[in-house]
Amino acid sequence: MNLFSLEGRHALVTGSSQGIGHSIANALCDAGATTIFHGVQDESEIEAVDHPYIQKDLLVEEGPEELLEEAFAISPTLDLLVSNAGSFFDPPFREMTKESWSKTIALNLTSPYLLVHGFGKRLIEQGRSGAVVIVASTNAVQSEKDSVAYDASKGGLAAMVRSFALDLASHGIRVNGLAPGLIKTPLTDVWMRTRPDILKHYDHTIPLGRVGKPDDCAGAAVFLCSPAAEYITGHILTIDGGLTAQQIGPPPA
């Protein structure tokens, strides 16, 4: 038995047009899962995808439910969900508004809740088991300046993992999370390209000696979806090169 095989499984990965989600979706495919990709961009604007792709804005009120409906229409036996879609909208503290707070919470916290809740209800009604992976962040436990809404949303996701795990365990649905640290994605690449001094600092500070890549998160997601993790639920796996293991980083190089 291949403990890491996902043959015969059907997955939806939100926010998989680029970055961490794209790497996770490709890894699930490589492990044998039939995978539906999702993003807000038009299919013509994203990296080539040889798999079903759903364009849906999760900030629209009915977006999460419509995404689930379309995904189950494509794969009626959908049994894996990776809730990855999210972003960073925080302005500096003194410029923070109720609107910027609400936008962050709507995308990063409310839409994952609606997706996991709707996914779980469908599987329960069909009498099927499954697995959910929610992508949170190390910001759930270690905050950053000018990041209050983002940090709060990721802390909420960590709590959501534990709560959903308890609610769904008796139905054979496992719920776990990933907490990536600093990962080079289209979102973070903007400042990495303009501030090589900061990138050099992080490479020096992170115990494993480098900023993470999206592919560093992919194997962890496959593991949590696979039979190898069949007795794991309510757990958040940190992927940060050891950054949160240390109290104070090394002195400047």
Summarised one tens digit per residue, pLDDT across range 14-37 is: 999 999 999 999 999 999 999 999
Contact present, 90 and 137 (Cβ < 8 Å): no
Per the residue annotation, which of 53, 150, 202, 231 is the catalytic one? 150
pLDDT digits (tens, 9 = 90+) for 68-124: 999 999 999 999 999 999 999 999 999 999 999 999 999 999 999 999 999 999 999
Please confirm, yes or no, whether 150 is among the known catalytic residues: yes
Residue 104 CA to residue 50 CA, distance in Å, equals 31
Lowest mean pLDDT across 69-73, 134-138, 177-181, 201-205: 201-205
CA angle 184, 187, 188 (to 5 degrees): 45
Residue 225 CA to residue 28 CA, distance in Å, equals 9
Residue 97 CB-density burial (10 A; 0-12 exposed, 13-18 middle, 19+ buried): exposed
Q: Which domains are assigned to the chain?
A: 10-183+213-242 (3.40.50.720)
pLDDT digits (tens, 9 = 90+) for 187-242: 777 777 777 888 888 888 999 999 999 999 999 999 999 999 999 999 999 999 99
Q: pTM of the predicted model, to two decimals? A: 0.95
